Amino acid sequence: MILPAALEPIRREDALAKLVVPMRGDLDVETVALVQGLGLAPALEAAVWLYLDELERAHDVCQSMDDPLGAALHAVVHRREGDFWNALYWYRRAGEADGEGAKLTKAVEAGDRSDATIARQRAEWEALAARCAA
């Protein structure tokens, strides 16, 4: 997975394993401080928060971004919190109304919680993180 080298210690086997998670995460204060202290560009910071299931923090960052990448990250936040209509709105704003993210959102909304769908979510995150890191 694409993460800044400083975040190597927090790589997690269970990252992005849940398709829908609560908006507020439960990260320990050390990990929060580590991420906040890196001075990451907003897009990459939002991607890291998504990786860590910290949707509220990701939302705070990507909500202030006014570009297609920010809109795509915003869409993922809303899909993962279970706000599917809003996720599809943000995919449209990102110019990806018919893309894989929108299709994934519709699958999760329909109740698909399969391993294949989790793999699609992880692949989506990796593609977004690569765009964020570029």
Domain residue spans of the chain: 26-133
What pTM value is reported for the model? 0.92
Q: Which pair of tokens denotes residue 111?
A: 């109740």
Report domain 26-133's class: mainly alpha
Q: What was the pLDDT predicted at 6?
A: 66
Q: What was the pLDDT predicted at 34?
A: 87
Q: What was the pLDDT predicted at 3?
A: 66
Per-residue pLDDT of the chain (134 residues; tens, 9 = 90+): 566 676 666 677 778 989 999 888 788 898 899 889 988 999 999 999 999 999 999 999 999 999 999 999 999 999 999 999 999 999 999 999 999 999 999 999 999 999 999 999 999 998 998 899 88
**Helix residue ranges per DSSP H, the chain:** 29-36, 42-51, 55-62, 68-81, 84-93, 100-109, 115-133
Q: What was the pLDDT predicted at 107?
A: 98
- Residue 121 burial by Cβ neighbours in a 10 Å radius (0-12, 13-18, 19+): buried
